[in-house]
Amino acid sequence: MLQPFLYNHHLNVIREQVDVLLYNVSHLVDADVKDAVRHNVADKLLGLFSSLSDEQASFINEIRYLNESEIGGFLERVENAVIPFPEIANQQVEKLFTRSKKVTLPFNHSRTLTYLGWNDIRSKRKYLIYPINGVLIGIEGTYRILNQRTTCYLCGRYGEVAHVTSEVYDKGEYHTIGHYICVDSNVCNEHIKETAPLEAFFMKVYNKQLNA
């Protein structure tokens, strides 16, 4: 049986590309053009990975040959192939955020996540947890919800965002950085299609925490 090998951001890209495929298959008439779209989508998905086993590659490659009625089943198999976010206990969370008091996990959070994030309404702090090289890292910042919609730094979605300010340590100096980040981290997670901005943000803020 195929072991989970996909991450949440892969799932988001696959869902997006499946939508592209379904839209084109139902709107296009020319069979050759439809095939071109299929191959384009399949190549795009295979291009997400720097290395895949033969089994994993043929699994992704299925999309090249599916008809419309088979796509739902394919998406279900994709969801089952996503590596779940690590289980975390409240005691672990306290260790990740030693400078804040009584940080507790949100109830019933999904395990299909790129990062776990939530807002503490009382302290106006946003907490984020993300595994880097298998180690869970926690970072935090203060947030202020904006009245206007704009683009989230982490997922690129245009919507309701908060301005999140975090302390960083860079080039021998302490300063603060601010980013617009989705107010709702679950929504953010459904739109993340690459992890580079998230990782850059974590490394900057975590670097400060190491040097504090």
List contacts with Zn ion (CB under 5 A). 152, 154-155, 182, 188
Query: What is the nearest approach in angstroms of Zn ion to the Cβ of residue 97?
Result: 21
Angle at Cα 84 formed by Cα 140 and Cα 45, nearest 5°?
100
Pairing mode of beta strands 173-182, 135-151: unpaired
Q: Is the dihedral of CA 151, 83, 96, 119 positive or negative?
A: positive
Query: What is the nearest approach in angstroms of Zn ion to the Cβ of residue 71?
Result: 26
Nearer to Zn ion, 4 or 156 (CB): 156
Query: What is the nearest approach in angstroms of Zn ion to the Cβ of residue 188?
Result: 3
Nearer to Zn ion, 18 or 154 (CB): 154
List Cβ neighbours of 78 (8 Å cut-off, separation of 6 or more). 6, 11, 14
Nearer to Zn ion, 128 or 168 (CB): 128
Q: How far apart are CA 129 and CA 121, in angstroms?
A: 17
Nearer to Zn ion, 8 or 63 (CB): 8
Identify whether the C-beta of residue 178 lies closer than 8 Å to the C-beta of residue 140: no
Query: What is the nearest approach in angstroms of Zn ion to the Cβ of residue 150?
Result: 11
Q: How far apart are CA 31 and CA 143, in angstroms?
A: 51
